[in-house]
Structure 1
């Protein structure tokens, strides 16, 4: 009896420490978002004079958002980002699913050697210089939208997740379908994919978030202003704000007469742009979140 009570007490202590630990992590993750949110709606001069975290909104204003929505480059960046995200996700999911299905079949004799080669790329790669030469010279995709889509549409990690999930589907289902005259594509799209939808939703989430937040490849390959994604525009805005004293901001579009120069509004615009670029992910994530945990576990553990 005493041992049972001791285990129960230990379990409660563990649960309490666990909850406390993850609550602290949650607070650490939320605080930067709250800081940016409050700053984006506050007076530009007041924000500039603050040190440390901003805990509340001071002199509520929409001037920063008015500047953002009157900046055509923001809208162009949004459109480009959606093109890159949708293109990479659709093409990447198609290639990942087709490759994973082929590599998960026991009757495919080259499955293990190919998986060994694919897994090797997760540990060793040719490096960024080799990739740059491949994209710009061999494939001739410099300053092309394809330079941000094709190199990102296949990931060895995502392939392994989907392949493992397909291997967990009982072989009897495929054998029964073949006896009924079903072909490979019928088995894949009508049997396999519905059974591993949690893993597919997780991989889609990875693709979307990874490409939505990506700016480094665009900085390397894209030079045309009308092809830059939103995150690269945001990065340039942050660099300009921190390094330039003569930021080019047209404050004539403001309806109210808040005092301050262009640099103040550039700072305010920085916070507002971060919020605007983050909102789509806040909207998208809840629809996929329920599949996330089960999708990762199904794709990570075989048996």
Structure 2
């Protein structure tokens, strides 16, 4: 029996080896920061600051995590971030999905006009000051709505979702449901949404990660520390560490030593908070990966 396997040419082997080399380098570039942060979070900050700890932990200590678990401000920030992320993602999906579906319907009168108006906002905006004045006039400053509402919809995400609806949902299926007496609202919730789980997972991940990592809106609109998200707490830790490092050389020895101790503690807490802040996203992504890949591939077929 003759083998049906196709013999690889020399060029194929070279290409395969080059791919493995490239992927190995890419893996190292991506994995090194993660390993470094995990190692730094349990290493003596003196070794981290001096550069002696560059990959694996040195002089292991869990003081950073101990401080995190004891710090009420960090946990309140964690709770705020969870609330902002859950509510913000839910609101974003509630806006994005109906808007994208409406834009995908060929029988929707004026859809090209509305799509053009949406596109304009991708290239032109009022700027930070008008945005702040608008939020202030709506009495949303220092409230949860200042974090959730201004960025509730992304035109890019609406376009991707619209493309998914146009390229994936058969028009014949919609017509069959309408013949059976289904209204547009019922059609959307009972037919379109169940068939759109891949793109819903993608949008939920996009909006959720964006909301989870966001700090700029809180920096601009919030002045009550009890409402700060976790990223703002982390920013305060980084600022404290930077200020301690900059002022340590121009103050008295005893004060400089105290600031140095604060900076070391801040460094430990900083890396521990980064790990804790990243864990939820890392834990959720494997469950959404199948939908994520499928939704991105289908949603990018045509525009």
Structure 2 unmatched runs, 5+? 1-5, 249-259
- 1:26 is displaced (CA, Å) by 2.2
TM-score by length of 1: 0.88
Query: 2:142·2:223 contact (CA, 8 Å) conserved in 1?
Result: yes
Q: Identify if the C-alpha distance between structure 1 residues 124 and 40 changes in structure 2 by more than 3 Å, giving closer, same or farther.
A: same
Partner of 1:91: 91
Partner of 1:215: 215
Pairing 1:1-303 to 2, within 5 Å after superposition:
8-50=9-51, 54-136=54-136, 138-168=137-167, 169-244=169-244, 261-302=261-302
Q: Identify if the C-alpha distance between structure 1 residues 9 and 294 changes in structure 2 by more than 3 Å, giving closer, same or farther.
A: farther
CA distance in 2, matches of 1:235, 1:61: 23
CA distance in 1, matches of 2:51, 2:138: 49
Three-state SS of the structure 2 residue aligned to 1:45 is: helix
Structure 1 unmatched runs, 5+? 248-259
Which stretch shows the higher mean deviation, 191-200 or 145-154? Answer: 191-200
Q: Identify if the C-alpha distance between structure 1 residues 294 and 14 changes in structure 2 by more than 3 Å, giving closer, same or farther.
A: farther
CA distance in 2, matches of 1:22, 1:126: 42
- 1:191 is displaced (CA, Å) by 1.6
CA distance in 2, matches of 1:211, 1:24: 31
Partner of 1:254: none
Deviations 1:122-155 (A, max 9, x none): 122222222122112x222111110000012101
Three-state SS of the structure 1 residue aligned to 2:263 is: helix
Three-state SS of the structure 2 residue aligned to 1:174 is: helix
- 1:49 is displaced (CA, Å) by 2.9
CA distance in 1, matches of 2:279, 2:132: 32
Partner of 1:252: none
Q: Identify if the C-alpha distance between structure 1 residues 13 and 183 changes in structure 2 by more than 3 Å, giving closer, same or farther.
A: farther
Q: Identify if the C-alpha distance between structure 1 residues 66 and 166 changes in structure 2 by more than 3 Å, giving closer, same or farther.
A: same
- 1:43 is displaced (CA, Å) by 2.2
CA distance in 1, matches of 2:16, 2:200: 32
Query: 2:240·2:263 contact (CA, 8 Å) conserved in 1?
Result: no
Partner of 1:250: none
Three-state SS of the structure 1 residue aligned to 2:43 is: coil
CA distance in 1, matches of 2:225, 2:263: 22
- 1:298 is displaced (CA, Å) by 1.4
Q: Identify if the C-alpha distance between structure 1 residues 8 and 93 changes in structure 2 by more than 3 Å, giving closer, same or farther.
A: farther
CA distance in 1, matches of 2:24, 2:135: 44
- 1:164 is displaced (CA, Å) by 1.2
CA distance in 2, matches of 1:61, 1:281: 25
* CA RMSD, 1 decimal: 2.2
Partner of 2:252: none
CA distance in 1, matches of 2:153, 2:225: 27
